[in-house]
Structure 1
Amino acid sequence: INFGVGKGPGKEGNVNSSGPQSVKSSHKKVLNSLMSGALAGAVAKTAVAPLDRTKIMFQVCFPPQEAYRLIYHTYLNEGLWSLWRGNSATMVRVIPYAAIQFCAHEEYKQILGDYYGFQGKALTPFPRFIAGSLAGTTAAMVTYPLDMVRARMAVTPKEMYSSIVHVFIRISREEGLKTLYRGFTPTILGVIPYAGLSFFTYETLKKVHAEHSGKAQPSPPERLLFGACAGLIGQSASYPLDVVRRRMQTAGVTGHSYSSILLTMQEIVREEGLIRGLYKGLSMNWVKGPIAVGISFTTFDLTQILLRKLQQHGPQR
């Protein structure tokens, strides 16, 4: 997918005048974004994998005490690395997801900047939110089945699914291919505010910091703090839809038959209550989410800066 299409102020003559050098520079920029995004996603998700697994257990069916007990017994019986069970499936999903999301965000910012006449300047709030939402939606649409597989592996014993491929085979054979997209609608509905608010908050805090401090770039600790704030706001806003998504994804192994977003929400509220049901595990997300998003944004930015410096110094040697 060439997200670079549409760059420039809309004059067709600019395509020819830019020449091969501009095209090469654009391709290099996209490649840098993909690489930086992939690394950002991998580092962030690996760092919080045990917390992520516990959160999914909260959301699906386990009360807090039982989820903690299960995690503890898993650690005692299977060792420390068992807490990262399903992380390989997470990496298979997160690496392309984060690569596409961060790359798409850079390109959507460029496209919206050209459209609204902000070339080379920070976007105004509404386009900033739209760029983040579009980036998250693009990534989610491409990688959704991998998220489904990861959720199944997180809430099932080791004996049930031996590998990522085994999950795909069993779900396809026993529940049908359509199951791989169960929970897709709440995912997209949740991604729009989550990604939009996360990118919006992070970009806004960087802009405000630059205006008040006089520094062009924030320091790594400041980036972590801005990313943490972005994760806290984005995930809190979209959390109920995240719970609905997990319930629909894992319905085949928990004995439930959630057929739609509204019916799933109604059943959760009826059985568990509004706060305890739709916001189950949110307190853990306030620990996990800011850490993951902070690491993700910081890793992406610093990797981008490093790659640009390496490329600038490369031809001079």
Structure 2
Amino acid sequence: MAAREATVLLQSKIEAQKQTAHPEHRTLGHAATLSTSMLAGALAGAMAKTAIAPLDRTKINFQTSQIPYSWKAAVDFLIHSARTEGVLALWRGNSATMARIVPYAAIQFTAHEQWKRVLRVDTPASAKQHPIIHLVAGSLAGVTSQSATYPLDLARARMAVTNAQEYRTLTAVFVKVVSTEGFSTLYRGYPATVLGVIPYAGVSFFTYDTLKHTYLEHFGTPQSTIVNVAFGGAAGALAQSASYPLDIVRRRMQTARRRLDGSYPYSSITNTITYVYSTEGWRGFFKGLSMNWVKGPIAVGISFATYDAVKTALRDIALRFS
């Protein structure tokens, strides 16, 4: 009897240690889980995008033009923009980015949690047993969030490549685009975006979760914030490389201006690919990728680390008052 009680007590202690060591093992109600995931995702996206906004604007400038890319040219663009328009110009379009990234990141992280649950890969063991399904969960999360916020992404791209006089506010972008080019223009480049987000989100979430689970198996304790940033950076670098050519295509389609005859220079994915290749060669599909290897890992690292830290803190608070 004493041995039995000792065994029960030991099991209780082990379970308590698990609850303390692994916040993801704690349980919250469905509504509370969604709320914490959405808030954590929103904050993660906002912090990550604000941190790399100047680099993002620089990348978009080269993606949408035929100007040859180099690090010197990128630095010159940053200096010229700061001198002629002011330092804050480096964050031009960031208001549109925030308007998009807050709901985008909130939806993406929450959708990822829900897709993993629906596909039954929401535990380390199940994810390891079904890696392809785990990859699909990340891709579906990306498609879900991108579909819900795409017009905001187009508006951000337009603001990033124009001067302040043309589009002063996010609202001005929507009003002008719809009135002069039609409502459907708000979804130009959407197919290329979805095709690109499938490998990007899939590889990103899959790599980060795999590294986390592997670390936990080897060391037995949750990783620190610094390690989370490193894992997120690795995930971001792989994801950016896998999807970058389609990122070029979508940016060209998003920022293309309608000609006088009503046509567009980039009328379809195939047309855009053909044009970029014929005028710039295969290198045209990778313009700015080296900058993405810097800003991408930083953004993804900050995003994943912030999400995990905020989600854990919010769950602890919710459990304390539940």
Q: Aligned pair 1:263/2:271, yes or no?
A: yes
Cα deviations by residue, 1:173-197 (Å, 9 ceiling, x for unpaired) = 1111111000000000000000000
Indicate how the Cα distance of structure 1 residues 253 and 303 shifts in structure 2: closer, same or farther if over 3 A, else same: farther
Give the match for residue 307 of structure 1. 314
| Long gaps (5+) in structure 1 | 1-22
Preserved contact between residue 96 and residue 170 of structure 2 (Cα < 8 Å): yes
TM-score under structure 2 length normalisation:
0.86
Q: CA deviation at 1:41?
A: 0.3
Give the match for residue 4 of structure 1. none
Q: CA deviation at 1:27?
A: 0.4
Q: CA deviation at 1:230?
A: 0.4
Q: CA deviation at 1:78?
A: 2.6
SS of structure 1 residue aligned to 2:43 = helix
Give the match for residue 162 of structure 2. 156
Indicate how the Cα distance of structure 1 residues 261 and 74 shifts in structure 2: closer, same or farther if over 3 A, else same: same
Query: Which of 247, 251, 254 does residue 249 from structure 1 map onto?
Result: 254
Q: CA deviation at 1:63?
A: 2.9
Q: CA deviation at 1:314?
A: 2.5
Give the match for residue 27 of structure 1. 31
Q: Aligned pair 1:99/2:103, yes or no?
A: no
Q: Report the structure number with the largest CA radius of gyration.
A: 2
User: In 1, distance between residues paired with 2:309 and 2:246?
Assistant: 31
Preserved contact between residue 42 and residue 94 of structure 1 (Cα < 8 Å): yes
Greater than 6 Å deviation, 4+ residue runs: none
SS of structure 1 residue aligned to 2:313 = helix
User: In 2, distance between residues paired with 1:68 and 1:154?
Assistant: 16
Query: Which of 205, 208, 219 does residue 213 from structure 1 map onto?
Result: 219
Preserved contact between residue 124 and residue 213 of structure 2 (Cα < 8 Å): no
Q: CA deviation at 1:128?
A: 1.1
Q: CA deviation at 1:203?
A: 0.3
| Overall identity of the aligned pairs, in % | 52
SS of structure 1 residue aligned to 2:257 = helix
Q: CA deviation at 1:24?
A: 7.7
User: In 1, distance between residues paired with 2:115 and 2:277?
Assistant: 37
Q: CA deviation at 1:241?
A: 0.2
SS of structure 2 residue aligned to 1:237 = helix
Query: Which of 173, 184, 198 does residue 178 from structure 1 map onto?
Result: 184
1:54 corresponds to which letter in structure 2? T
Query: Which of 138, 142, 159 does residue 136 from structure 1 map onto?
Result: 142
Give the match for residue 145 of structure 1. 151
TM-score under structure 1 length normalisation:
0.87
Q: CA deviation at 1:67?
A: 4.9
| Long gaps (5+) in structure 2 | 1-26
Give the match for residue 41 of structure 2. 37
Indicate how the Cα distance of structure 1 residues 221 and 120 shifts in structure 2: closer, same or farther if over 3 A, else same: closer
CA RMSD of aligned residues (A): 1.9
Indicate how the Cα distance of structure 1 residues 204 and 120 shifts in structure 2: closer, same or farther if over 3 A, else same: closer
Preserved contact between residue 122 and residue 207 of structure 1 (Cα < 8 Å): no
User: In 1, distance between residues paired with 2:212 and 2:40?
Assistant: 18
SS of structure 2 residue aligned to 1:252 = coil
Query: Which of 75, 79, 85 does residue 78 from structure 1 map onto?
Result: 85
Q: How does 1:87-126 map to 2 (within 5 A)?
A: 87-113=94-120, 121-123=125-127, 124-126=130-132
Preserved contact between residue 145 and residue 180 of structure 1 (Cα < 8 Å): yes
User: In 1, distance between residues paired with 2:112 and 2:272?
Assistant: 31
Preserved contact between residue 132 and residue 195 of structure 1 (Cα < 8 Å): yes
Preserved contact between residue 142 and residue 197 of structure 2 (Cα < 8 Å): yes
SS of structure 2 residue aligned to 1:51 = helix
User: In 1, distance between residues paired with 2:85 and 2:123?
Assistant: 54
Cα deviations by residue, 1:155-184 (Å, 9 ceiling, x for unpaired) = 001111111111101111111111100000
1:48 corresponds to which letter in structure 2? I
Give the match for residue 294 of structure 1. 301
Q: CA deviation at 1:69?
A: 3.0
Q: How many residues align?
A: 288
Indicate how the Cα distance of structure 1 residues 284 and 165 shifts in structure 2: closer, same or farther if over 3 A, else same: same
Q: Aligned pair 1:240/2:248, yes or no?
A: no
User: In 1, distance between residues paired with 2:227 and 2:123?
Assistant: 26
Q: Aligned pair 1:48/2:52, yes or no?
A: yes
Cα deviations by residue, 1:80-111 (Å, 9 ceiling, x for unpaired) = 21110100000000000000000000111111
Give the match for residue 272 of structure 1. 280
